Structure formats: structure tokens, C-alpha cells
Amino acid sequence: MTRIEAIVARTRSHRELASTRSGNERVEVYCKASSRVRVARGTEIGTVRVQFADETGMAVRIGSAKNDRSAFASVGGASPDAMRWAVDTALATGAWNRTRMLSPSEAGVIERLDLDRNDRLPPSERLAEWLQGCPSADWIEAAITVEALCGEQGWLAVRRRARSWALFDRLQPTLAARREARAWVLPDPPSLEPVGSAASHGRDQDPSIALSSEAAAPLVAALATRFHGEGAGTGAAVGVGWHLEDDPLHFEGVAGGVFDDAGFPSARSTLAEGGMIVGTLGGPGTYRRPSFRDAPQSGTSTVIVLPDPVFAPDPRQVVRRCRVLPLEVDSWVLDLGTRSVRADPRDLLSACAGAFGAPRMTAEGVFTPALVFEGLS
């Protein structure tokens, strides 16, 4: 029995168990299994440490009669006893999740598969060789994750993802990630040298800040959640450089897929263009689970920043590290390493003036070029 067949059989069996134990046919069971290998630098020069790990976990949602909420619980492991505990806990605690559940009529075909072709971890020797050839890296990790959802009347959705991560520059850590759908290519190191900045276009009194792809990604993710999340409005003006899409089908995306984490079909969404917010994320097709322990909630998958307009770089140094510290709703601090900038997040949207350089996939799930923000320094 293959790994896919095994998790499918287990998920179906647990859904039947959960339905019987709860006395409710409207039950959804989510099972996840992952295997990973990490190679890190050893304590002695030229040595490495190799670690292997496996993780399994499950979650259950038991729907209400109107399908407007569901009782939720999660548990580590994969045994029937663990699923019984999860069902009993969901019913006893009343931890209600407001994300509605996929109905059999919406599921369409009874089985849907979204499988990366890559189905085996790379040899640890391959990772060790990569690490030895990349002096700026502290460790590299590869993982294969299989997720299965089974719902009312037995509809099934299965996803397999192969991904790699690497940590660079221990003093100013930068995490890189890559989807390895077909073969193990492994992450590219971030640019650690100055790559130029945006020309000021005659605005010497209004200098710009240029963020590398890795520095821009956490800021883009935070702004997308704040201004394009569920319940946010449309029509507000933004900077002309804030041209944003969410694409769960992107071939490099480390998250997302043809269905969301509640089984609903996914689609690409335009969030901002032409200097205006035109879309938000919410409802079926946008449900995400950060881990098996979390109930599905609306959120981003792969956020794409389109380079419009494109600036020509000049010799000034680009900021390559940015931490976003939300102090209050209308006051964020951007820690840029050597200095910090305090701004209203609405002003950050307005300040996005453009981009330059090739877009890169980042560990935050943001596919972005370097970005220019004017009037913030």
C-alpha cells in the first residue's frame, strides 16, 4: 500500500468512526502526515548533523444542522482512540468554528487529487553536499506532506506537497523556501550584496526605501492580511506599486492548491490594481490551516506582487531585512536592522511606488520583486 493509499484509507475509516460516535453525518475529518530531513552544521568545522522526523495529526469538524458553524478539535497521532478523543472533545467543549463545511453537491466528483510528482525525500548526503557548498546557510530541510480531507457522503480531497527550506546568515536570519513539485532543486540563497535602489525621480526631498524580496515579503504578508482579509473593504486608494494578487494555483507556491483547506475549489483573485483595493479574501476557496491543530479560516495562499511600475536601480544599498512590529492598529514599526521606521499601515500602502528586479518566492508565501516605498525614511 502506498503512502497516499494508506492515509486515504485511514481518513475514510476515521470519518466513519467520527460520524457514528457523534451521531451526525455532517462530519469532516482532516488527516496530515509529514516526513522531513534536516541537515545542519555541526559543532566542529566541516561536520554536519542529520535529523529525521515524522509527524501525524488529525482534526475533526462536526457540523450544525444549518451548516453555519461546526464543533472543532484536533489531536496528534493517527489512532482510532485519538479520533474518539477528538470527537468527544469537540462535542464537549463547543469550540465552534464559523467556516462552513463543503457539501456533497459542491464537492462534485467524489475524489479530487492535487499531488506533487515528487514523492521521496532527497538523500541526506545530497543536502549535506548542498550545505557544504553554501557557506551562508546554517541548515537545510526537505519535507513531504500528505493531507487528506473526507466529508459528508464520503467526498475526498488529497494533497501532496514536497518543499524545502534553508536558513541563511545566522546573525541576520533569512529563511528561504521552495516548492519541489517535480524534483529536488533546493533553495537559492538570498542576495546578500547591495542590489541597487529605486531612483528618486527628482524627489530628493522625499527619499525612498528599497526592500529586497526577502525584506518586502513579511511586510506584504502583513498588509495583505490587514487590508485584503475577510471583512475588509474595497475602493480605498493605494500606491501605484501595490498591484497584488492571491494565486493558490501558482506553480511555485509553497501553500495553496486546486482546493483550499476545507475542500472548496480555489481560484486566483486580484486584490489591488490601478492604485485601488479591488478585492478581499473570504469565504469558500480561501480557507487555510496553518497546521492540523488549527481550524480553517480565510487567509492568503500565494501572494503575488506584480512589478508595476518598474524602476531602474541605482547604486544605493537595498534593505534586506525587515521585521513588522504592529504596536497598535494604526501604528506599525518596521525594524530594518540598522534603523527603524514607524508608520500607519495605511500610509505604507500609499507609499508603495513600484518595484525592480526579478520576483522571488519567499518563506512567507509571497512572490515579489524588490519593492520601493517613498516618503518613509
pLDDT digits (tens, 9 = 90+) for 225-269: 999 998 899 999 999 999 999 999 999 999 999 999 999 999 999
Among candidates 87, 102, 71, 115, which has minimal Cα distance to 14? 87
- Cβ neighbors of 354 (< 8 A, separation 6 or more) are 198, 240, 241, 307, 308, 309, 310, 311, 371, 372
Q: Cis (ω within 30 of 0) for the bond into 345? A: no
Q: Quick one: 87 and 217 in the same domain?
A: no
Q: Let me know if residue 185 belongs to a domain.
A: no
- Rg value, the chain, Cα: 22
Could you report the per-residue pLDDT of 345-366, keeping only the tens digit for each? 999 999 999 998 889 999 999 9
Range of the domain at 206: 197-374
- Cα 61 to Cα 98, 99, 298: the distances in Å are 11, 10, 16
Q: Of 142-151, 162-171, 196-205, 238-247, give the lowest mean pLDDT range.
A: 196-205
Residue 111 has what pLDDT? 92
Q: pTM for the full model?
A: 0.90
Question: Per-residue pLDDT for 313 more than 60?
Answer: no
Using the 8-state DSSP alphabet, how is residue 152 labeled?
G
Looking at the structure, do residues 82 and 210 belong to the same domain, yes or no? no
C-alpha cell at 373: 516605498
**Can you point out the beta strands (E) in 18-94?**
27-41, 48-63, 70-76
Give the residue from 179, 211, 232 where a domain finishes. 179
> What pairs with residue 113 in β-bridges?
158
Assess if residue 192 is contained within a domain: no
Could you give the number of structural domains in the chain?
A: 2
Distance CA 39, CA 255 (A): 23
Are 313 and 246 within one domain? Answer: yes
Q: Quick check: is 320 in a domain?
A: yes
Q: Are residues 242 and 332 in the same domain?
A: yes
- 208 and 125 belong to one structural domain: no
207 pLDDT band, cuts 50/70/90, is: low
